[in-house]
Structure 1
Amino acid sequence: MSKRGKSGNLIGSLLFVSLLFNPLLAFAKPKPKPTPPPVSETPLQKAQKELPKDYFVVYAIVDKIARANGLDNKPWRIVVTPNYTVNAFASDTNLLTFEAGLMDQLEGNASALACAIAHEMGHHVKQHLGYGPAKQEQARKEEIEKAERNKIIAEQDAQTQALIGAGVGTGIATVGQQVGGIGGGLLQLGGALFGGASQQKAKNIEAIKAKIEQEAEINYNKRLMEISQSQELEADETGYIYSVTAGFDPNGCIAVMDVLGRMPGAQSEGSSHPAPEKRTQQINALMAKNPPETLKAKGKTSLTAKPTPLRYEIFNYQREGGGTLSGLKVFPITGTTQDDLNRYLN
C-alpha cells in the first residue's frame, strides 16, 4: 500500500474514533445566527420616504423652526406650487406657499431656504395679514383715512374759499357729503363747503374735488408702500432670528437677498419691498445685535426639550371663490384634535 493510502486510512480511522466518542457531532445542526432587531425609522426618515422631495425639505425646516422658537402651538400649512417664479408668500390662516422658482434658485442652500420660510412664518406671527387680504386692505384704508383726511382738506381749504367766493364755507369742511375716489369714500367733504355755490363755479369745484382725490390717492399709495416695506423689514428680522435659533447659518439670509437682488426690477422705486441692499444692511446689523451663537444656544435648549418632530398629513379643501388647494398640514405639538381630546376621555 502506498504512503498516500496509509495516510488516508489513518485520517479515516481518526475521524471514526472521533465520531465514536462524540456521536452528537454527526447529527448536530448548525445554530442559526440570531436575527438582529428591526431598525425603527425616525419620524424624519419616515417623512423623507413618504413625501415628495420639496415637501419633505420644507416640512423638515418648518418643523425645526417651530419647535426651536415656540411656534409649535398652532398648525402650519404648506403648499409648494409648480409655478416657476421666484416667490413665496403668506396668506389665509398660517398658510405658507413656496413656488418652484424660489426652490430652484435656493437649491443647495438649506439655510437660505430656512430664512425664506422663517420670513413667511414671521408675517403670520406679526399678524401682517390680519384676518385676510380683504380685511387687511380695509384696515389700511381706515388708517389712511384718519391720517390724510384733515390734512388734505386743510391744505385745499384756502384755495377752495378763494375760488368759491365769500359766504359759501366757514373754513375746514365738516364730514357729511361723500366724495368719490379711493374705495368710494376715502375722503368726505361737508355740504357746507360746496353748498350754495353758483352754477358757473361748478367746474372749479369739480376740479378741486378731483385734485383732492388725486392727492389722496397719491398719499394712499405712498402710505401703503411704506406699510408694506415696514412689514417686510419686520419679517426679515423674524426670518433671521427664527432660522438662526433653529440652528441654520445666518448667512443664509444674506444669500436670499443676493438672489432677490438679481431679479428684474429689484431696485426699482415704489416697490412694496425694500431694496435688497437695504435689507442686507439690516441683516448685517441684526447679526451684531443678536449674535448667532446666542440664538443657536437658545434654540438648542428648546429642541432638546422637544426632540420629537411634529406630525403631518396631506390636506385638500375647497377655496373660497372656487378651486381646490392641496398641501401639507403640520400639526401643533399637541397633535390632532382627537389626540388632544383623548387626554380628557381616558
Structure 2
Amino acid sequence: HLPILAYKGYNKSGFGITLLTSQSLVLANPETPPSSDIHPMYQKAQQELPKNYFAVYAITDRIARANNLDKKPWRIVVTSNYVVNAYASDTNLLTFEAGLMDQLEGNASALACAIAHEMGHHVKQHLGYGPAKQQQAKLEEIENAEREKLIAEQDAATQAALGVGVAAGAAQVGNQVGGQAGGIIGAIGLLIGGAAQQNAQNIEEIKAKIEQEAEQRYNQRLMEISHSYELEADELGYKYSVKAGFDPNGCVEVMELLGRMPGAQLKNMTHPVPEMRSEKIKALMAKYPPETLKAEGKTILNGKRTPLKYETFSYQIEDGGTRSGLRILPITGSTTDDLQNYLQ
C-alpha cells in the first residue's frame, strides 16, 4: 500500500507488526546548561534527546496532555529509513520514518498532525477492531458465496429435471400428432431438454464466477474499512493537534506533501486519495473551529504544567531483531513513582 500515515499494516492479508532493528537509544548527559531558546519545561529533554526524538517527544507530550491522553504510556521509534511514512503498530507504539521527518522539517504543526493521526489509530483501537471486522467480512462473503452456489446448483438441477420432462412430453405429443407438426413439436422438446442439460453442465463455471465476485466484494469491504479508519484518524489528528495549540493548516500541508508522492492520486486499498482527505479536513475546520479547540486545549494544559517523563526502552523481539526507542510515561510517572502514593 502507499506508505501514507497508516496503522501497520492493514492490507488484503490482514494486520502485521513491523519488526524494527535499530541501535539502542542513548540519552545524552548534558554538561552544558540547557538552551534558553525553548520553554524551560523542555530544556532538559532538548539537551538529552537526539533532535528528531526531541521533536516527536515534545509534540506527543503536548498532544497527550491537552487531550487527556496522558493516562497511558506512549512509545516512539524514529527510524533511519528514508521513507515518507508514519504508522501505528503494536500497543501504543508510534513509528516515524526518517523520510517523513525530513520532508516535514521546519513544519512542527504538520508533524503534530501526523503524530496525532497515529495516536488516533490507537485511541480508536483500529488495530484491535480491524482484524475482527476483516474476519467478519470474510466469513460473511464465504457464506454468501456458498449460499449462491447452492441456489445455482438447485436451479440447474430443477431446470434439468424440467427439461427432461418437457422433452419426453414433447416427443410423446409429436408421435401422437405425427407429420410435419409432430416433428416440430418433438424438435422443440429436444432443444429445451438439451439447453437444460447444458445449463447443468455449466454449473462449475457459474460457481467459479460466484467465488470471483465474492472475492471482489470482500476486497471492496476491506478497502471501505481501511478508508473509514484513515478518515477517522484524520479527524482525530486535526482535533488533537489543534487542541495542543498547533496550526490547523498543518494537517492540510501533510496531505499536500503526500499528494506529491508518486501514485498518490490513484485509488488505493488502504488510503483515500490525499486530495479528498484534504477537503474533509477543511470541512472539519468549519465544523470544529480552531479557536474553540485551542481554547479547550489551553484550559486543560493550564492545569497540567509539568511535561510527561520519559525513558528509553530496548528489548529483543521474538522473531528476531531489537526494538528500541523512547517511552513517554503516563501522568503518574513510572510504576515506582506511582507506588509512592500507596507505600507510605
Poorly superposed stretches of 4+, deviation over 2 Å: 38-43, 136-139, 143-146, 148-168, 200-213
CA contact (8 A) 1:164 1:205 kept: no
Query: Structure 2 CA distance, aligned partners of 1:286 and 1:106?
Result: 22
The alpha carbon displacement at 1:163 in A equals: 3.2
CA contact (8 A) 1:144 1:223 kept: no
The alpha carbon displacement at 1:202 in A equals: 9.6
Query: Structure 1 CA distance, aligned partners of 2:35 and 2:267?
Result: 55
Query: Whose relative contact order is higher, 1 or 2, with alpha carbons under 8 Å and at least 6 apart?
Result: 2
Alignment of 1:184-223 (within 5 A): 204-223=202-221
Q: Which residue of 1 aligns with 2:54?
A: 56
Tell me the amino acid that sits aligned with residue 54 of structure 2: F
Quick check: 1:255 aligned with 2:248? no
Q: Which residue of 1 aligns with 2:324?
A: 326
Find the structure with the greater CA-based Rg.
Answer: 1
The alpha carbon displacement at 1:54 in A equals: 0.2
Tell me the amino acid that sits aligned with residue 319 of structure 1: I
1:140-159: CA deviation from partner (whole Å, max 9, x where unpaired): 1223423x345445555553
Normalising to structure 1: TM-score of the pair? 0.73
CA contact (8 A) 2:121 2:229 kept: yes
Q: Which residue of 2 aligns with 1:335?
A: 333
Match 2:152 to one of 146, 154, 159: 159
Query: Structure 1 CA distance, aligned partners of 2:317 and 2:261?
Result: 31
Query: Structure 1 CA distance, aligned partners of 2:218 and 2:93?
Result: 28
Q: Which residue of 2 aligns with 1:143?
A: 137
1:283-322: CA deviation from partner (whole Å, max 9, x where unpaired): 1111011111100011111111001000000100122322
Match 2:301 to one of 291, 300, 303: 303
CA contact (8 A) 2:222 2:269 kept: no
Tell me the amino acid that sits aligned with residue 54 of structure 1: N
The alpha carbon displacement at 1:277 in A equals: 1.1
The alpha carbon displacement at 1:259 in A equals: 0.1
Tell me the amino acid that sits aligned with residue 153 of structure 2: T
The alpha carbon displacement at 1:270 in A equals: 3.4
Match 2:287 to one of 286, 289, 307: 289
CA contact (8 A) 2:149 2:210 kept: yes
Query: Structure 2 CA distance, aligned partners of 1:256 and 1:85?
Result: 15
CA contact (8 A) 1:75 1:331 kept: yes
**Secondary structure of the residue that 2:332 maps to in structure 1?**
coil
Alignment of 1:13-28 (within 5 A): none
The alpha carbon displacement at 1:40 in A equals: 11
Query: Structure 2 CA distance, aligned partners of 1:158 and 1:341?
Result: 64
Structure 2 spans left out of the alignment, 5+ residues? 1-32, 162-197
CA contact (8 A) 2:35 2:43 kept: no
Q: Which residue of 1 aligns with 2:18?
A: none
Q: Which residue of 2 aligns with 1:244?
A: 242
- Taking only the aligned residue pairs, the percentage that are identical comes to 67
Query: Structure 2 CA distance, aligned partners of 1:47 and 1:39?
Result: 9
1:231-264: CA deviation from partner (whole Å, max 9, x where unpaired): 0000000000000000000000010000000011
Q: Which residue of 2 aligns with 1:19?
A: none
CA RMSD of aligned residues (A): 2.5
CA contact (8 A) 2:78 2:98 kept: yes
Distance 1:150 1:89, change over 3 A: same
Query: Structure 1 CA distance, aligned partners of 2:305 and 2:233?
Result: 27
Alignment of 1:58-137 (within 5 A): 58-130=56-128, 136-137=130-131
Query: Structure 2 CA distance, aligned partners of 1:70 and 1:203?
Result: 65
Normalising to structure 2: TM-score of the pair? 0.74
CA contact (8 A) 2:145 2:211 kept: no
Tell me the amino acid that sits aligned with residue 139 of structure 2: E
Query: Structure 1 CA distance, aligned partners of 2:309 and 2:251?
Result: 27
Q: Which residue of 2 aligns with 1:9?
A: none
**Secondary structure of the residue that 2:119 maps to in structure 1?**
helix
CA contact (8 A) 2:65 2:301 kept: yes
CA contact (8 A) 2:309 2:328 kept: yes
